[in-house]
Amino acid sequence: MRKIEKQMKLHHTEQDQLKELYATIEHTTQNFLGYPVSKDFDYSELMPFLKFPLNNLGDPFGESTYRVDSRAMEREVVNFFAKLFRAKEDQSWGYVTNGGSEGNLYGLYVARELYPKAIVYFSEATHYSIQKNITLLNVDHIIIKSQENGEIDYQDLKEAISYNRHRPAVVVANIGTTMTEAKDNTRTIKSLLEEMAIEKHYIHADAALAGGFAPFIKPRPVFDFEDGIDSISVSGHKFIGSPMPSGVVIVKKDNRDRIARRIAYIGSSDATITGSRNGHSPLFLWYAIKKLGIEGFQKRTDHSLAVASYTEKRLNELGIKAWRNPNALTIVFPAPDPEIIKKWQLATEKGHSHIICMPNVTFEQIDSFIADIEYTLCESV
């Protein structure tokens, strides 16, 4: 016994490694404006649960022989999002994923099982997880042009589908593209499919970031089940914020029933991408939802939008051509000095950078960022 305990102690060099990692993370987490991750959370009340090997193996809505789990909470999280996304009561199903990418894989997997001969259409501004998932699923696809603001080019989509009218169509709608947070209008996409009489069609919404707050924006963006979608994926660690990546995927129940298989070993049905599933992340999401409530979500949305509007204004006042899509938290502007990109960890692509005003971003932080920009502008004169 004593021998095992001795072995389980970290060597002092390893303890130093841990300390060093902690200090680095503590530092890098401070100036963080370029990625959509909220950091204003406190889950300390849940720390005792880290003692348990929580595993939500199998279907969250069915029984399982493995009961060291948080599946009751997971069901509440799924139902909460299903309601936010206006899914028909008792006609939807979902689970807590490892992130938005897994939710996208799941949506496309369901679509492929429904229409194995379909072509998947998505815009060039789409997140790389879609291309990867399509490769994994081995389905045909066509990339559609984007408009300048990052929204899908509906005319190009229409033309691409019209050349392939004999094939079922799966369209991925971006509810907030990664670089410009552009939202594709799912009602327009649905009407386009119906006008062309493509009976076998499926719309998956990738709402990784904006799914967390789109239901609280006025006017409400057109993106959910009442607006024609068949499935949706949202990240949990983005707008809500969580120490580990997580997400939620919601699909129509009938479609999900086609892919579920009963597995005796786990005493549950196998309807998810992975077998073992994180049992802590649903608990963290449940906790955040309960603490925030609808009012908390609304407040976070309003705060983020106010900071985004302020950032855009401050950059414009400096003569920088900053812009954002309607009611977006993302401000796009010409890439600044490399030192600024490094310090503030700004995602940069094709000569443009962006700031994402997540709920933890404060007006003071933006002032400090603007001061850095002003300094580089003065230096360059």
Ligand X SMILES: Cc1ncc(COP(=O)(O)O)c(C=O)c1O
Least separation in angstroms between residue 349's CB and ligand X is: 12
Does 127 bind ligand X (CB under 6 A)? Our answer is yes
Among 64, 70, 92, 129, which residue sits at the site for ligand X (rule: CB under 6 A)? 129
Does 212 bind ligand X (CB under 6 A)? Our answer is no
Least separation in angstroms between residue 126's CB and ligand X is: 7
Among 105, 209, 340, 366, which residue sits at the site for ligand X (rule: CB under 6 A)? 209
Contact, 122 vs 141, CB < 8 A?
A: yes
Contact, 280 vs 54, CB < 8 A?
A: yes
91-110: burial string, b at 16+ Cβ within 10 Å, e else: ebbbbbbbbbbbbbbbbbbb
Whichever of 174 and 304 has its CB closer to ligand X, that residue is 174
Whichever of 117 and 132 has its CB closer to ligand X, that residue is 132
Q: What torsion, rounded to 10 degrees, do the Cα atoms 367, 370, 374, 380 define?
A: 160
Least separation in angstroms between residue 122's CB and ligand X is: 11
Phi-psi region of 345 (alpha: psi -120 to 50; beta: other; left: phi over 0): left
Q: Which stretch binds ligand X (CB under 6 A): 72-80, 158-166, 203-211, 348-356?
A: 203-211
> Per CB under 6 A, which of residues 60..99 are in contact with ligand X?
99
Q: At 359, is the secondary structure helix, strand, or coil?
A: coil
> Per CB under 6 A, which of residues 92..121 are in contact with ligand X?
99-101
Least separation in angstroms between residue 10's CB and ligand X is: 31
Least separation in angstroms between residue 200's CB and ligand X is: 25
Does 247 bind ligand X (CB under 6 A)? Our answer is yes
Among 208, 328, 329, 340, which residue sits at the site for ligand X (rule: CB under 6 A)? 208
Among 150, 228, 241, 245, which residue sits at the site for ligand X (rule: CB under 6 A)? 245
Contact, 147 vs 184, CB < 8 A?
A: no
Q: What are phi and psi of 110, to 5 degrees?
A: -60, -45
**Position closest to ligand X via CB:** 100
Among 70, 235, 268, 272, which residue sits at the site for ligand X (rule: CB under 6 A)? 235
**Number of residues in contact with ligand X under rule CB under 6 A:** 16
Least separation in angstroms between residue 124's CB and ligand X is: 13
Whichever of 193 and 210 has its CB closer to ligand X, that residue is 210
Going from the C-alpha of 27 to that of each of 15, 30, 67, 238, 355, the distances in angstroms are 19, 6, 39, 20, 19
Least separation in angstroms between residue 28's CB and ligand X is: 18
Q: At what angle do helices 186-195 and 154-163 cross, to 10 degrees?
A: 30
Give the residues across from 96 on adjacent strands.
Answer: 248
Q: At what angle do helices 128-137 and 100-114 cross, to 10 degrees?
A: 40
Whichever of 228 and 245 has its CB closer to ligand X, that residue is 245
Q: Give the x-and-dash track for 142-181 against ligand X (CB under 6 A).
A: --------------------------------x-xxx---
Contact, 155 vs 193, CB < 8 A?
A: no
Least separation in angstroms between residue 177's CB and ligand X is: 6
Contact, 344 vs 33, CB < 8 A?
A: yes
Q: Which residues, 6+ apart, have CB-to-CB distance to 329 below 8 Å?
A: 36, 181, 209, 213, 304, 305, 308, 356, 357, 358
User: DSSP of 324-335, one letter per residue?
Assistant: --TT-SEEEEE-
Whichever of 94 and 168 has its CB closer to ligand X, that residue is 94
Rounded CA-CA distance 20/374 in Å is 33
Residues that bind ligand X (CB under 6 A): 36, 99-101, 127, 129, 174, 176-178, 206, 208-209, 235, 245, 247
